[in-house]
Amino acid sequence: MQSAIDTPLDIQKIRQDFPVLDQEVNGRPLVYFDNAATNQKPLPVIHALTRYYEGYNANIHRGIHHLAELATAAFEASRRAIQEFLNAKYWQEIIFTYGTTDGINLVAQSYGRRFLTEGDEIIISTMEHHSNIVPWQMLCEEKGCVLKVIPVDDNGELLLDEYEKLLSERTKLVACVHVSNSLGTINPVKTIIDKAHAVGALVLIDGAQASSHLDLDVQALDADFYVLSAHKLYGPTGMGVLYGKKEILDSMPPYRGGGEMIKEVTFAKTTYNDLPYKFEAGTPNIADVVAVKTALEYMANLGKENIATHEHDLLQYATEQLTTLDGLRIIGQAKEKIGVISFVMDGIHHQDIGVILDQQGIAVRTGHHCTMPLMQRFGIAGTTRASFAVYNTRDEVDRLIMGLRRVQKMML
């Protein structure tokens, strides 16, 4: 094994923060390479959840008793932390959702239904997750809008010249992934945003995969909407964020009705609450919102640049080692990537690869990764995907290579 790149991170010490890693699967030490689906949670995040439930579990905002005030303060502290994480201009621009998918649907159902009309055009890309395809298809069916798609080349990079050809005065919205969950491609979203704004279109960026790997600055990007999920930030599941420019969010109607999103209710008329609360109907996912602040602090303490350097080293090392295997082809070889590698092996179905690796304690993802149109673009049914996080090591990559050699020995 080649020596790893030097970083200030003590990976073995970091691994001790993730109790789920300290176990055997099928008699082998667990290797967890399914981080693009969800990454594992460090002890500080787990403890933040238990502290809430053990110490100040209460509903927020409307209560005046001590526990309600503690819970409200912790809940809103997370909003401020996310504002800082994204460099949003106003705290009111941070809307809590149940995940990236929920945020995209909020924009489609609120902004889309209010402002898009028949003949308006929406542009997405070939590499979108189904969550950034289906809501726009549903909107197009309802409103008579037209959906257009940016193609990708054989390396898994967007064809920007073709994107420019799709843009026109009829373009009202562009929805594009920041980083591909299937290929790891980092898209030039600043260029995409600027070109869309030049024709008067708004832009939504799906940041689910980017958020734990790249520095984010929504003001520098000039994004109109940015969505992400906490569970890919070493935080809990069931909690996400929609960032939107304040003036745009102010113009949008509520997505759901109920408690919290109101100022006054009579049987004759309801007056809606101010931002961000008009989009946060009902009792929210309080504990998980509280805990995401701890997840952001955990990442900040490690240093996002240090995490990215370590993951890039794993990506380079794994790419080098995978290319030594006969009959293995990496799908998606963009110049700019995060730590995600998808591949196919001649004569072996991806599900068989996943099963045999699992027998050796190695967790990878197999299938179409909720990007069926992208798989069709490459003429394949699916891939095997290995994706890395801060707690992964080169030794684990070596185990993956040995596991794949065993797959070939068994199947060919």
DSSP tag of 108 = I
The packing angle between helices 304-322 and 286-302, to 10°, is 80
Quick one: which of 312, 401, 324, 317 has its CA closest to 2?
Answer: 317
Q: Which tokens go with 294?
A: 């701890």
**Residue of 140, 145, 176, 370 marked active site:** 370
CA distance 149 to 176: 10
To the query of whether residue 176 is one of the catalytic residues in this protein, the response is no
Distance CA 179, CA 150 (A): 15
> 149: which strand partners?
124
DSSP annotation of 214: S
Distance (Å, rounded) from C-alpha 196 to C-alpha 205?
12
DSSP 346: T
Cβ 211 vs Cβ 232: under 8 Å? yes
Interhelix angle 304-322/394-411, rounded to 10 degrees, is 30
Catalytic residues: 370
